[in-house]
Amino acid sequence: MNGRDPTAAAAADSARIAWHAMPGDDVLDRLDTTRHGLTDEEIAERRGRYGPNSLPSAPRRSRLARLAAQFNNLLIYVLLIAAAVTILLGHLTDSIVILVVVILNAIVGYWQEGKAEDALASVKNMLSDHADVIRGRARKSISAADLVPGDIVILEPGARIPADIRLLEARGLSTQEAALTGEAMTVVKEVAPVAEDCALGDRASLAFSGTLVTSGRGVGVVVETGQRAEIGRIGAMLGEIDELTTPLLEQINRFAKWLTLVILSVTVVVFAIAVAFRDYQIDDAFLAMVGMAVAAIPEGLPAVITITMALGVQRMASRNATVRRLTAVETLGAVSVICTDKTGTLTMNEMVARSLVADPVAPPIEVTGTGYEPVGEVRGTLTDGARRLIRAGILCNDAHLHEGPDGRWEIAGDPLEGALISLAHKAGDDAEMMRHAAPRIDEVPFDAVNRYMATLNADADCNRLVLKGALDRLLTMCADQATADGVGPVDAAGWNRQMERLAAEGERVLAFAEKTLGTDGRVAPEDMEGGFTLLGLVGFTDPPRPEAIVAVGEAIKAGIDVKMITGDHAATAVAIADQLGIDTARGALTGNEIDTLSDAELRNAANAVDVFARAAPEHKLRLVEAFQAEGNVVVMTGDGVNDAPALKRADVGVAMGRKGTDAAKDASRMVLADDNFATIVAAIREGRAIYDNIKKVISWTLPTNGGESLIIVGAILAGLVLPITALQILWINLVTAIALGLTLAFEPPEASIMDRPPRARNASLLDMEMIWRVVLVSVLMAAGTFGIFFHSMGRGDEIAYSRTLSVNLIVVMEIFYLFSVRYLHLTSLSWVGVLGTRAVLIGVAITVVAQFAFTYFRPLQLVFDTRPVSLEDGLLVISLGVALLLILEAEKWIRRLAGGRIRAPARA
């Protein structure tokens, strides 16, 4: 073997084989096996060559590594530096508080990510644990892990398929492949080869590992096992995908680098000036610089950001969105592209009989309602022919419809047959009464070759043979058609036009016919050769969720591109997309077409098209990567194993909680409890609000810290006495950072939040607008503080009194600035803006009480060297705070008036 891994060699060889395109006997020859199964010697040899039919365990980070990762953030490093600075100042209490914040931040992150990536393990759980095989001419039940290529497997209803199998026999065999292909309908299997380049969902001659047999029986030969099976290939893709850093983390890292560099640079420069030009002693200069660093470093910012996102997690949970990764909360606010699955997300994932055609020239009768729930109406006259058609749909039917314990209607059996039962109830009929009145005495199961199913029912004084299947097949079996006067010649052209009309609307069509037989209690082969009366057609669809239509419109209005990616056929995908309001002008791009495009060509094509059909897992992954390559922040939704690689790669993977597989949930960052697209849009709105609140926190923190720093720097550079001490700065930060800054985490969304386009992925937290605000507010706060300090000193007050005034003015200005920064895009000068939220009022009340204690409580006076403030000076302090608010609101109005973006906030 020249050192070549035999498993890898087998995988490379099998990867080039299109088993679905080969005749069954050729597959047997290629695998060197027979329909009688393998011998013990052959099994042992192949197990050594291919390995077990199982998937490898996913690598996991150790708990220690996961915990250490929570500290790998520059802003956390800044926080630790702040703790070290306060230790140098001898303030152990403040150091302990800061360290507790860091530890709590790590614990929250560790807990949120406690459910580490386990997608591959979830895929493993989908594998069958046993298989019925033929080995050495005898039927045996073995562990599925012992299967090898060449084994002959027997498939029966309810069985989970244990490996990828090329079918050799199929009698009425259908499988549910939604978890793998995303297609809602059961797939009818057949033995005949299919085109080599057909999509995964069209490979009818293959049964895939991990999918379910819903009806019929089959026999096939194992062609792929373990990682080489389709489901194993998806698991391998998952292991190769690296998760992206979220936009907020990228921005916070850039911000922390910038902030650290500025603080250290300014500190070094001012320290040198103080020592060289202002005759400061080195110790005094060092303590002053430590005070400036304490003022500049936003100690509480990481904690407030974490708390803001944690509050967002709680609010999203109340909207049926469970967040598995904390950082996903704000990432939602930057979403510019939603890649959404169709089935179950945009649609109900429940088939509905939508159209009833009992006349080849009359318009279809429309049926309302959503899902299997038997609630709706038939909009049209139900003729005797239409009722015969509905009755045929009940008699030639194996499904049962029932209401589940949670009030949801569920079916046992084929989705189309379940929809026919719901149709009967909407028409005012009782399906069970119909079946009881005409009991089944024989049947012809559905067969992929014949493309029909038939049942023989005892009906009054005769036996009635009821037939359903593909229209083109039934037309060859019908001698006439039902009319208002009895029967008439078959209008084949008219029926075909009706079928094309329904198919153009994305509906799947079944035709129905019947004929009367004698009293013999069985169906003879010659009974199926002809003589039927065509009753009509029923069109089925998986209808769009009504709320999804509204949500799609809201997303598009918010500047978000909605891309439908589905395993369904192009015509169905386009029809559903059109009903949802998704742009279908350019049609749909199929998986086969994607395969022909290079990455650069796909980026161009993906931007131009909004509907993608017959998409396999690798297509979904490539599309997500194509959108990200254009700088988009991408949400990917899905529920199947086939969605897991794209869910993991997306900026925010969103899995369905009700009908989603464990693999999809574990690969995602958010899970929807209601499987509803509208919840995604609501979560994006919440994500934008959270990002706004984080930006408000930063917009409040940096200018207030900057003003404090500027006071110290200005005093040193001008050779003046410090208006506030380092200890007093610590007091200000301790009181305001939590009592005031944290209140911004509770801000409700601004009224215009979904009227704005998404922010760019590389948008900086410190854009020019915020930098200008930092400079302006810092200068105004420093000017006000210097003004009141020297006004007090000039009239002969002692320095302790003047510093008390300065501290109180800084806190009051921070309070009034809080009311201004609550609205980044709206004016704060409104009744709602002035009243604030409950959190703001509580925060302001706590701050005011604390400042009264700081100023008038004797123990605190001794600690911070403060003095009681007179009523006149107290009113002066408040008036300067009001002046700051008015100046900032005037500046905001002047700067944005031209853009028409300032308006009063709506009442939350």
Known catalytic residues are 341
Q: To 5 degrees, how large is the angle CA 579–CA 652–CA 822?
A: 95
* CA distances in angstroms from 657 to 620, 679, 884, listed in the order given: 20, 12, 50
For residue 30, the SS3 value is helix
Q: How far apart are CA 394 and CA 418, in angstroms?
A: 9
For residue 171, the SS3 value is strand
Report the 10 Å Cβ neighbour count for 137: 11
| DSSP-assigned letters across all residues of 583-636 | --TT-EEEHHHHHTS-HHHHHHHHHH-SEEES--HHHHHHHHHHHHHTT--EEE
Q: How far apart are CA 691 and CA 540, in angstroms?
A: 43
Q: 382 Cβ partners below 8 Å, 6+ apart?
A: 365, 390, 427
The pair of three-digit structure tokens given for residue 94, joined into one six-digit string: 């403040």
- Identify the CA nearest to 653 among candidates 294, 117, 277: 117
The answer to whether the Cα torsion of 412, 415, 416, 421 is positive or negative is: positive
β-strands 588-590, 611-613: how paired? Answer: parallel
For residue 368, the SS3 value is coil
- Identify the CA nearest to 420 among candidates 407, 434, 406: 434
Helices assigned H by DSSP within 73-158: 74-88, 92-112, 119-125
* CA distances in angstroms from 756 to 26, 247, 644, listed in the order given: 60, 18, 31
- DSSP-derived secondary structure letter, 711: H
Q: How far apart are CA 108 and CA 102, in angstroms?
A: 10
β-strands 532-541, 478-483: how paired? Answer: parallel
The pair of three-digit structure tokens given for residue 658, joined into one six-digit string: 């009700």
The string over 593-603, giving b where at least 16 C-beta atoms fall within 10 Å of a residue's C-beta and e elsewhere, is: bbeebeeeebb
Q: 857 Cβ partners below 8 Å, 6+ apart?
A: none
Q: How far apart are CA 327 and CA 321, in angstroms?
A: 14
For residue 98, the SS3 value is helix
Which residue pairs, CB below 8 angstroms and at least 24 apart, start in 75-79? 75/252, 75/253, 75/255, 75/256, 75/259, 75/301, 75/302, 76/102, 76/105, 76/302, 77/256, 77/260, 78/256, 78/259, 78/260, 78/297, 78/298, 79/297, 79/299, 79/302
Q: How far apart are CA 467 and CA 471, in angstroms?
A: 11
The answer to whether the Cα torsion of 667, 669, 672, 675 is positive or negative is: negative
The pair of three-digit structure tokens given for residue 874, joined into one six-digit string: 């107290």
- DSSP-derived secondary structure letter, 130: E
Helix (H) or strand (E) holding 135: strand 130-135
Q: How far apart are CA 54 and CA 288, in angstroms?
A: 66
Q: Which residues pair with 457 in a beta bridge?
A: 440, 464
- DSSP-derived secondary structure letter, 129: S
Q: 25 Cβ partners below 8 Å, 6+ apart?
A: none
